[in-house]
Amino acid sequence: MIEFKDVSVRRDGRELFSGASFQLHPGHKVGLTGNNGTGKSTLFALLLTHMGTGDTEVTPDKGEVSIPDSWQVAHMAQEVGASSQTAIDYVLSGDEEWYELNEAMSDLSTVSDEQIGVLHQRFDEIDGYRTPTKAAQIMAGLGFNTTQHELPVAGFSGGWRMRLNLAKTLMSRADLLLLDEPTNHLDLDAILWLETWINNFNGLVIVISHDQAFLDATVGYILHVEQQKITLYTGNYQQFVRTRHERMAQQQQAYEKQQATRAHLDDFIRRFRAKASKAKQAQSRIKQLERMSELSPMMADNPFSFKFYEPAHMSSPLIELTKANIGYSDTPLLYNANVQVTPDTRLGLLGMNGAGKSTLIKALVGELDILSGSYRVSDSLKLGYFNQHQMDALDAAATPMQMLRRLAGQTSDAELRSFLGSFDFRGERIDTPSELFSGGERARLTLALIVWQRPNVLVLDEPTNHLDLQMRQALTIALQGFEGAVVLVSHDRELIANVCDELYLVHDGRVDEFDGDISDYGKWLSEKRKQENMANKNSLESASKENSEGAVSHETKTNAQVGKVKEVSKEGQRRLAAEQRKRTAPIRREIENTEKALSKIETQLLTLEEQLADTALYEDSRKSELLTLLDEQTALQQQHSDHEEKLLLAMTNLEEMEASFE
């Protein structure tokens, strides 16, 4: 396990956290949260330094960090160089032991016979023959197709390189996995795949993420950094928010009570300190004040408080695509698309990576001419369009105040500063050139400039990519109150669920209304992925059969004088069967153990249901007992779900292994 004992860390003369004490165990999935600048990345650097890796050395100023010496760590870095290495080799290099063994086995000229045996034995122990398949599965889950495997890393864009880096990290045989914003460059189907992967990972995972739905789906603990303290909460992000708010309310009450006590003591000291008869009592009150630990008042959590202005003019429809073919260089990507944007539109666009969501967005905003059909916009259209290009197009040399002033005319500086403050641009940041801003700050500034222009249609293409949780919450609230139309593409499920009341699916060259909600879309993606895997499996089997038939035909011709193909000996068949049993034995044991665990959980759930059926349990006097039983039921239901997923994955792997022997 990882253990922090009274750990304090300072960086650049500033204390980030002090007195940190907590334990994290193998199998824990932990979300590391806190405002920007509170020390989350420093905590990662501290762990990496302790384990002898990482680029930045960070050691505790006080306290002790304990991590098992045998543990291996994998860390998702934030940059990937423009390497000439192929994408599949880059991903495979994440499994360092496999990569080294494979390199050694590729040239055995300098290796003794005894060493060759050791190499092959170890390669078999780590299931090295399936490692390339595992790498291909990870790449497919993250959105890569097989034609991209042999492309050089340098040939990918920055966002796709980050996906390669994530894939390389997931390939490692780590005991501790550190993931820093892993969903930033992923679309929704890749995020859903990653959630399943993390839930099936056996080691300890610590993840920094601003995606609330992702945290809710993957973590069972929250490690929160706030006001130089680190607190470990049990539960996912949603449970953490509830627990923290309860603690904050209690802290506020304690703070107010303490302030009242302080005021009373101060008043007594001020009045009686100089009086001889009361001097001793006054000194006692002074010592009491000195002993009092300082409590912090409840801090207002969210520094963002903006809202969209009411649009000046509206008509209907504002944008209309009718029977439109949309694509590039006279080649349609989408056929017969029909989309109408009215003042009441709250539209979320769904679709797998590469299906054409951004292409449709470009056609809606007029950036891409349609190939055929009709495209019309209202004379009253005032478009607010957010995408990565808009962020990159900010004037690098200009400050937020200068850029807003260009739009604001005669508006007073005080009003502009107040407006920028609602996006947390305060003090010197108002007058800082945007080239010095982080991605999150540039995203906030782009949104601020859009808001100021009072659009009646907002078209937002992945607006939350660089935003932290607080800004995402503020954006969600602002969009809910916006009186114009919204068209949204986002991998943030919370944003889609809370803002959109209709969903369109972009798939197979079509744009159709999606009958369901965002959770139904997750099920749809899962089903599509199964269908694609089955199609790929059938394709491979067909190709294998054709190769086999071709080989038989060739051998028949070569041995025409014999008149038949040599058959595999019975002894060879027995050896193959024994090898198959040996190779599949571990996964068969895993299936058997998982089925036993499921049976045990089901028995426990039945017992709990019988207890909960007792009507006397719901009396006020037994409230605590009821809550305990409900908590146990929730935990067991989660365990049951986790074991069912584990069993399904194991059975799928067994089928694949058995198919490979046929």
What distance, in Å, lies between the first and last C-alpha atoms of the chain? 42
Residue written as token pair 């291996």:
72
Q: What residues contact 130, with CB distance under 8 A and at least 6 apart?
A: 657
Phi, psi of 303 (to 5 degrees): -80, -5
Tokens of 488: 């949204």
For 311-379, the three-class secondary structure string (H helix, E strand, C coil) is CCCCCCCCEEEEEEEEEECCEEEEEEEEEEECCCCEEEEECCCCCCHHHHHHHHCCCCCCCEEEEEECC
Q: How many CB atoms lie within 10 A of CB 222?
A: 24
430: Cα separation from own chain's centroid? 31
What 564-571 contacts at long range (C-beta under 8 Å, 24+ apart), as own/partner pairs, is none
Say if residue 317 is preceded by a cis peptide, omega within 30 of 0: yes
Scanning 205-314, the segments in alpha helix (DSSP H) are 212-218, 237-272, 279-291
Rounded CA separation 427/107 (Å): 63
Query: How far is residue 657's CA from residue 65's CA, in Å, rounded to a whole number?
Result: 42
| Angle of CA points 117, 123, 125, to nearest 5° | 100
Residue with tokens 């890569």: 144
* Cα dist from 194 to 172, 182, 190, 199, 337, whole Å: 15, 9, 6, 9, 31
Across 639-658, b (16+ Cβ under 10 Å) vs e yields bbebbeebbebbeebeeebe
| pLDDT confidence of residue 126 | 82
Strand 485-489 and strand 346-350: pairing? Answer: parallel
Mean pLDDT over each residue of the chain, to the nearest integer: 81
Residue holding tokens 């824990």? 28
Helix axes 469-481, 439-452, angle to 10 degrees: 20
Distance, CA of 335 to chain centre: 32
Q: What is the DSSP letter of 38?
A: S
Query: CA 623 to CA 617: how far, in whole Å?
Result: 7
What SS3 state is found at 301? coil
- Cα–Cα distance measured from residue 279 to residue 596, given in angstroms and rounded to the nearest whole number: 74
634 vs 117, 236, 604, CA distance in Å? 50, 13, 12
Across the strands, what pairs with 47?
none
Integer Cα distance of 662 and 660 in angstroms: 6
Mean pLDDT per 10-residue segment, the chain (662 residues): 92 86 94 85 90 82 91 81 83 88 77 76 82 88 86 83 91 92 85 92 92 90 90 89 74 65 70 61 63 48 73 89 92 94 92 86 93 94 88 89 90 91 88 86 90 93 83 84 91 86 92 89 80 63 54 44 39 62 76 82 79 68 73 73 70 67 54
